[in-house]
Chains A and B, each alone.
Chain A
Amino acid sequence: MATLSKQDIGKILARQGILIAFAFFIIGFTLANGRFLSPDNVMGVIRSSAILGVMALGVTFVVISGNLDLSVGSMMSFSTIVVLDLHDKIGPALAIPAMFAMTLCLGAFIGFLVGYLKLNSLIVTLGMLSAIHGLTLTYSGGKNMDIADKDGTWFDVFGQGTALGIPVPILMFLALAALLGIILAKTPFGRKVYAVGGNGTAATFSGIKRARTVFLCYLMSAGCVATAGLIQASRSLGSQNTVGQGLELEVLAAVILGGASLLGGSGTIFKTVIGVLILGFIQNGLLLVGLQFYVQFVVTWIIIILAVWLDIAAKRGKLWSNIA
């Protein structure tokens, strides 16, 4: 404790490594393009990150509990299509709760499979990715969904509205982050999530209902996905069946960037928010300095691996792995 060993310094560097890298990025982008740090641009980045961010909040719970969720992308497509369809049929006031209920059912199903039946979450959610995509296409008949009267609806407030000068998606993202952050950090349920992910067997022996905790994590994730679907639907007032395709990877990338371990037991909502913002700002910065849109895929790849590498290198106290 008294002296700071080399290992401790490594640990601190790794913990803050992503933030340091982030700072360098910001300085670099700002030098390259003065518009980068303008309030408009910053607001724009956060706003466009909100959908990804809301989903990442839920996935953080799932990842901390030691599981994965690869189905959030196709589940988001499902929510979007359902709420747009119901909007015209039963009106927005009923469509929103109905869509939440349906999405939560999907979450409950996954939670049941992973929590109570203890099936491998990677394969279950991979299967659900395909199954929910099929469900969405069946629901929509393969057609794109559009709201009939785009001008005469208050539904667009979730995606396009502003309150107190701040876009509503940002407010929803931050409010949800605050709420879930408190739940994870300050409530008995949050402690159970960490315990289950850290050491499931020990958690079981200390009387924590592991299955129920995992189940609730998936339920929360589904709730977040439904919220993201609502924002997406409201922003565009029309959608394709594939709108969320591939998002699960970006979501997972954000959560991992934030420092949550895929093995479970670590991570915080705050760090996930940082991870989301880092992804958003880097993508935006690359665009502003004139790099091709697709280069950001490659950069994201490098950043993810660097971040995780630094993290585990600090844990083992060595840069290179112990694998012979």
Chain B
Amino acid sequence: MQAGKMTPFIKTGAIWAFVVLELIFFSVAGEFLSLSDKAFMDLDNMLLLLKQSAPIGIIAMGMTIIMINGNIDLSVGAIFALAAVILLDSMSWAIFAGLGDWVIPVSWALALLTGVVLGAVNGLIVWKTGVDAFIVTLGSMLGFRGLVFMYNGENPTSELNWTLVDFAEAQFLGLHTATWFLAAVTLVIWYVMTKTVHGRNAYAIGNNREAAVNAGIRVGPHMMINFMIIGFLAALSAVVFYSESGSVNPNDGQLYELWVITAVVLGGTKLTGGAGSIVGTLGGVVAIQLLRKGLGHIGADTETVNLVIGLILIAVLFLDRQLNLKGKEELKI
């Protein structure tokens, strides 16, 4: 147990060391393999990387709380898609016709509300029925996706509002709007997890639920709030992404849960709950995005990226296992 205090630090450090390693590798490999003349470490490229990290990153912050809490949410991709449909579709609703560009905040609010409500549905079911979050969100992954398809069949929902696009493409102090959203979410969730009672309770519940109950923490409402937070963040991610793109396909966001969970696990959050850090998750998000971008830079295609990400996830799990071996009996096969 002496290592207990060191491992979180090592893990958070490890993911950032991995990020640096990736940067070096892709810069060097890029010199020889890249098809373009531009260097990988180009400033524009890095800024773009941060922007592209935002959709996954914003959701990953919510997933970190959920997983520290000892739960999991597989429905984030579907929530993302449904929020996007509401966002884009509501802009052309007749009742909002007189609003002009003021429809934007209204549509945003509707999309975010959708996320919160869907999260609340997940949370309420987990709380009241006691069914494992894995099964509940596995089901709602299917169910919410069904709602997305019911909306517009297999057709995309499109609405391009140029004011919105201008806002989404704006750069402030050199950073894109999406990057600012990611930064703000990271900061807020970091604050919640490290400085507030809610954050401390999340660790306590994930660590030992019974002890947390005995200590007077109301586990059910706490978990429900967390599901609402991740629902909100999944919707926010959709708002950030679709403000710029303006068109959502009913299949969008599929496998997002895979990317998000990969980022969170890479960042050192334990699947069994009770341990994890927001800074680590941010590292995980950047590491994954670097990997996708870097592999693309040196000429690998999506298939190879999928292959590599999957194998890295498994390798990290293996390393994590080695770092956290509790006793010798675990080693016996």
Contacts and interface: CB of A to CB of B under 8 A. Distances in A.
Interface of A: 113, 116-120, 122-124, 126-138, 142, 211, 245-246, 249-250, 252-253, 256, 262, 292-298, 300-302, 304-305, 308-309, 312-313, 316, 320-324
Contacts of B139: 253, 300-302, 304-305
B310 A123 contact: no
A262 B271 contact: no
Contact of A320 (B130, B262, B304, B333): B130
A35 B179 CA distance: 56
Contact of A321 (B129, B138, B258): B129
- Give the contact-size bracket for chain B: 35 or more
Contacts of A312: 129-131
Contacts of A137: 301-303, 306
A116 B332 CA distance: 9
Interface in B105-131: 125, 127-131
Given A120-B271, A123-B261, A253 B142 contact: yes
Interface class of chain A by DSSP: helix
28 contacts: A118-B321, A122-B72, A123-B313, A126-B313, A127-B310, A128-B310, A131-B307, A131-B309, A131-B311, A132-B310, A136-B303, A137-B306, A253-B142, A294-B146, A294-B149, A294-B153, A297-B146, A298-B146, A300-B142, A300-B143, A301-B146, A304-B138, A304-B139, A305-B136, A308-B135, A309-B130, A312-B130, A321-B128
Given A211-B333, A249-B138, A295 B150 contact: yes
Contacts of B254: 245-246
B20 interface: no
A143 to B, nearest CB: 11
Contacts of A117: 318, 321
Contacts of A245: 254
Nearest to B216: A324
Nearest to B309: A130
Interface in B274-315: 301-314
Contact of B143 (A122, A127, A298): A298
A48 B265 CA distance: 37
Interface in B42-90: 72
